Amino acid sequence: MKSFVQAIQNEQQGFVIKNSVFLPFHCEILSIWIGKEMSLLSSPDLVTDLADTEIICIREGETYTNLVFRKWGDLAKELGNHKGHIILRAAEKGSDIFKIENLHYIRIRFNDSKRDISFEIIDDPYNL
């Protein structure tokens, strides 16, 4: 099991293929937002029903987590070149999700329109 705090501190990168995001860590995901940064008026899409495979599919490998966003197209094109981001509300795998100190916001950045994505832990997803 790979810690997301360690992966982010070590500046590990993930990648995206079309609507599929590969994270170089494991985590317990509580909610997901997809936001565009093109407008001050835009609001993020909240993905809350993580059990609905028509919306999102979550798959874990030995060293990674794969998120497939079924209702979205090519995420690198839509969110690349700093046009948007994905934010996860998550805890380390196996930690107590009922303790607020274990919950973090992870911002996934689409740096360009290619495959690479980077991560940062943020305090407030509404103040980016």
Higher-scoring residue by pLDDT: 118, 83: 118
| Contact status, residue 7 vs residue 80, Cβ threshold 8 Å | no
Higher-scoring residue by pLDDT: 80, 117: 117
Read off the pLDDT of each residue in 108-125 and give the average, rounded to a whole number. Answer: 84
Residue 106 binned pLDDT confidence (cut-offs 50, 70, 90): very high
What is the value of pTM for the model shown? Answer: 0.85
Residue 99 confidence (pLDDT): 96
Q: What DSSP string runs through 11-39?
A: T--EEEETTEEEESS--EEEEEEEEE-S-
Q: What is the pLDDT of residues 7-59, one digit of tens each?
A: 888 899 999 999 999 999 999 999 888 877 655 555 566 666 677 778 889 99
Mean pLDDT of all residues in the chain?
85
Read off the pLDDT of each residue in 103-110 and give the average, rounded to a whole number. Answer: 92
DSSP state letter for 5: H
